[in-house]
Structure 1
Amino acid sequence: MVKRKKYLWVVIIFLIIIGGLFFYKKSSERDSVQRYRTVKVERGEIRSLVTATGTINPVITVLVGTQVSGTIKALYADFNSRVKAGQVIAQIDPAIFEAQVEQGRANLLNAQAMLSSARANLFNAEANLKKAEIAVADTKRTLDRNIELMEKGVIAQATLDTSRANYDSAVAQREIALAQLEAAKSQLESAKAQVEQAKASLRIYETNLKYTTIRSPVNGIVISRNVDVGQTVAASLQAPTLFTIAKDLTQMQVDTNVSEADIGRIAIGQEATFTVDAYPEVVFKGRVSDIRNAPITVQNVVTYDVVIQVDNRDLKLKPGMTANVSILVAHKDGILKIPNAALRFRPSSVKKEATTKQWAFGSVDRQKYSQGAKSFGKEQPGSRLIWVLSQDGKPVPVKIILGITDGNFSEVISGDLKEGMEVIVEETSDKKARTQQTQSPPPFVRGMGK
């Protein structure tokens, strides 16, 4: 009898344990029902943008410098001054350069006087040559006549010798006069060269004097002044910059730094919008006008300068402002689109399965599995998997091919997805409660432990 009661109690306890486990399992399954947040697939527009930062600059900026050294005597323009081409904007002390001009003029007068003297010497040399030629002719006649008289015995031999000596002397004087003529011609050419040299030096001095007056080369606005009255500027290998003049502030450009990953999507003529910190509520519009090929490398990061032309008629934009630029690289309207959150979603069951398989495989097999998981559903470019709810409320994968994206929504080019269908973007089950139930034993088991 006692044994029967003992066996009966064992059976009862066993049935209670079995029932408790069954009840706990059903309760866990009921509490772990998955719930998902979905979004309907709809049609709309997508604007694909490339974002970058840049600096606002005038289209044409002229750096006004000086080609001569000296002390700034006067300034006739200041910051924000409107200037016209040819207008005097600064004056360098011209005293030294005026003295050089006077010296150059004196040197020119001296060279011209030397030229006149050389011409007079040439005239004198030509006259001496003519005189020598006449003397040669005269002595020649006398010699010939004395030779005839000597043959007749009319004159003595000494007279003949004297006439011959006179002739030889006249010929020598003619050679001397000829040499003097050539020397006079050379002196004349040298004097002419000195005159031209003096004229050139005078032009240099006059040009340097003209350079002491600084004039604006263009019509524009002075945006920078780098000197003050009394300051000494030295023009050596590089001309110092006195003023920076913007030719036209109503037309500005934004020099943006676009990364090398995005530069392939940029084209001339694309629309662009940007904001500046000074007017955060105003959206300025522009258009891509140039794509510079010269790379800009900063800390191994390569960017390219994309120039955006901007209309600045209201003069709100100032040179040097930082612009946050968005360039419209693609725009489609009336297309099928889904939120990007749907592309990032994966059911927890798929994640657990993938984790289990990865730990079940070896290191090589794990790598192969990872590569296979990455390539799953990507047989062609843009192919992705998203998840939709089946009729029984379970997530089902659907393969689609994506087009352009704006970071929040992506275009669906093809796939088993239609307008109005709901895609899963988030799992909303009570994971915390399920975790606590999994970690805690059933109540009756805890009671038995006592």
Structure 2
Amino acid sequence: MKKSYKKIGIILAILIVLVLIWFFFIRKPEQPLALTTQKPAKGYIAQSVTATGKIEPVDTVTVGTQVSGIIKFIYADFNSKVKKGQLIAELDKSLLQATLDQYKGNLQNAQSQLVFAKNNFNRQDLLYKTDAISKADFDTALNTLNAAQASVASAAAQVRSATKNLSYADIYSPIDGVVLNRSISTGQTVAASFSTPTLFVIAKDITKMEVEANVDEADIGDVKSGERASFTVDAFINDQFAGTVEDIRLHPSVSANVVTYTTIINAPNDDMKLKPGMTANIIIYTKEVNNALLIPAKALSFVPDSSLMKQYEIVGKIGRKGARQKAATTGATDDNAKAAHTGKSRKDSTGVAKQTAFVWLLQGKKITRKKIQTGLNDNTQVEVLGGLTADDMVVTGVTGGDANTQTAAKPGGSPFMPQRRGGGGRGR
């Protein structure tokens, strides 16, 4: 029995030592609650639409050939700068020249037949007037003359056609520009029987490029011509290029049940960094406000908790428990639900329909509820249109206490579900 008491005493002593070690060396003392605040500040805020697209020249021309033949000479290559009317390729002209010579011979023969038919008609006309021949002989001579004239006209048309085809053997540049693509090589046979083959693709002016942005149907309503845009390309990831929305094409593109609209953005390319075919990541600024009064967006979701009443006096309606729980899980209270808008109808800071929201101001040891008017909200900052001054201290969250463990998952709960935050009401 004494041994049992001795064991129990040893165990109790060990437990007491462990508790003392935890209390003095391991346990972290609870931090006092403290409010995080921020004053409204002047700054820039914008509503934007993101999209991806492709860099293309403003105007390209496909150069083909109207006659078939073998490529004999090529005078322009990839990236060659060409002028309008410059000879850039030449087909073998031997067959075309032979055809032209044949038609010229046919024309000379028809002209000779015409001369003979005219002389014969003149003789027959004199004999007919003296009643030396019959009417039938006269009509035969007249018909022969008409046929000869028609033959000359037909042969002359064939000569003109063959001459034109021969001229098509010389391929000229239709514009001033740069050769983007060459699809032929010397000795290659091109056939123009059914469709015009492509020989060259020439860009008119690569110092002026355009971006073909694919804007989602959910965002296209905010995009308008003349809006500012910026974009980056993978080749120059640290450079930001500027542009302007020029046009929104009405023809939709559907891929995997996603509807997008091609939006054309002008992009100057004076430094020649942009190349056709590059992929662009685009931001279109649909609404912009400079020198706006801004507060953090998380200030709209702050809701004071009863734990703050030990240190602060709360002035104003805190809200129902359900409203506070909604703020903890979604980041917005019932009062501030209208403030979480994107300002789609906005033209400037004075033309938007004001949205109502509520924030809490720190005034010494008091936390006061304040009604404000908001404008644009980019989920990081909120534009304040009325109700606050630059000297107000807006409460954005709580630090200390159990605020650092408020978002921990409860035992048995899903780690993927939104968790209940404590009274600190920290921002999203």
Q: Residue 409 of structure 1 corresponds to which residue in structure 2?
A: 381
Q: Equivalent of 1:190, from 147, 150, 154?
A: 147
Return the TM-score normalized by structure 2: 0.72
* Whole-Å separation in 2 of the counterparts to 1:200 and 1:435: 90
- Give the 5 Å matches for 1:242-391: 242-345=199-302, 353-354=321-322, 378=338, 383-389=355-361
What's the CA shift for 1:63?
A: 0.8
- Give the 5 Å matches for 1:89-104: 89-104=88-103
What's the CA shift for 1:338?
A: 1.7
What's the CA shift for 1:101?
A: 0.8
Is 1:377–1:383's contact at 8 Å kept on the other side of the alignment? no
* Whole-Å separation in 1 of the counterparts to 2:305 and 2:101: 96
Is 1:377–1:399's contact at 8 Å kept on the other side of the alignment? no
Question: In structure 2, do the counterparts of structure 1 residues 120 and 258 end up closer, same or farther at CA, with 3 Å as the change threshold?
Answer: same
For residue 98 of structure 1, give the secondary structure of its aligned residue in structure 2: helix
Instruction: State the AA in 2 paired with 1:402.
Output: T
For residue 148 of structure 2, give the secondary structure of its aligned residue in structure 1: helix
Instruction: State the AA in 2 paired with 1:125.
Output: Q
Q: Residue 211 of structure 1 corresponds to which residue in structure 2?
A: 168
What's the CA shift for 1:397?
A: 5.2
Larger-gyration structure (1/2) = 1
Question: In structure 2, do the counterparts of structure 1 residues 432 and 277 end up closer, same or farther at CA, with 3 Å as the change threshold?
Answer: closer
Determine what percentage of the aligned residue pairs are the same residue: 41
What's the CA shift for 1:217?
A: 0.9
What's the CA shift for 1:42?
A: 2.0
- Give the 5 Å matches for 1:125-140: 125-132=124-131
Is 2:355–2:375's contact at 8 Å kept on the other side of the alignment? no
* Whole-Å separation in 2 of the counterparts to 1:307 and 1:230: 40
What's the CA shift for 1:355?
A: 8.4
Offset from partner CA, 1:104-149 (integer Å, 9 cap, x none): 11121122122223212312321221232xx6xxxxxxxxxxxxxx
For residue 218 of structure 1, give the secondary structure of its aligned residue in structure 2: coil
Question: In structure 2, do the counterparts of structure 1 residues 122 and 387 end up closer, same or farther at CA, with 3 Å as the change threshold?
Answer: same
Question: In structure 2, do the counterparts of structure 1 residues 255 and 127 end up closer, same or farther at CA, with 3 Å as the change threshold?
Answer: same
Question: In structure 2, do the counterparts of structure 1 residues 374 and 300 end up closer, same or farther at CA, with 3 Å as the change threshold?
Answer: farther
* Whole-Å separation in 2 of the counterparts to 1:294 and 1:375: 41
Question: In structure 2, do the counterparts of structure 1 residues 207 and 313 end up closer, same or farther at CA, with 3 Å as the change threshold?
Answer: same
Structure 2: any 5+ residue segments left out of the alignment?
Answer: 1-28, 307-317, 342-352, 412-428
Does structure 1 residue 120 correspond to structure 2 residue 119? yes
Instruction: State the AA in 2 paired with 1:77.
Output: A
Return the TM-score normalized by structure 1: 0.68
Is 1:42–1:420's contact at 8 Å kept on the other side of the alignment? no
**Which structure's relative contact order is higher, taking Cα pairs within 8 Å and 6+ residues apart?**
1
Does structure 1 residue 422 correspond to structure 2 residue 393? yes
Question: In structure 2, do the counterparts of structure 1 residues 124 and 347 end up closer, same or farther at CA, with 3 Å as the change threshold?
Answer: farther
For residue 187 of structure 1, give the secondary structure of its aligned residue in structure 2: helix
For residue 342 of structure 1, give the secondary structure of its aligned residue in structure 2: helix
* Whole-Å separation in 1 of the counterparts to 2:48 and 2:283: 6
Question: In structure 2, do the counterparts of structure 1 residues 314 and 432 end up closer, same or farther at CA, with 3 Å as the change threshold?
Answer: closer
Q: Equivalent of 1:237, from 186, 194, 203?
A: 194
What's the CA shift for 1:393?
A: 6.6
Computed over aligned residues only, the root mean square deviation of the Cα atoms, in angstroms, reads: 3.5
Is 2:59–2:203's contact at 8 Å kept on the other side of the alignment? yes
What's the CA shift for 1:53?
A: 2.2
Question: In structure 2, do the counterparts of structure 1 residues 435 and 426 end up closer, same or farther at CA, with 3 Å as the change threshold?
Answer: closer
* Whole-Å separation in 1 of the counterparts to 2:304 and 2:68: 77
What's the CA shift for 1:201?
A: 1.4
Is 2:363–2:393's contact at 8 Å kept on the other side of the alignment? no
For residue 96 of structure 1, give the secondary structure of its aligned residue in structure 2: helix
What's the CA shift for 1:224?
A: 0.9
For residue 275 of structure 2, give the secondary structure of its aligned residue in structure 1: coil
Structure 1: any 5+ residue segments left out of the alignment?
Answer: 1-29, 136-172, 359-369, 440-450
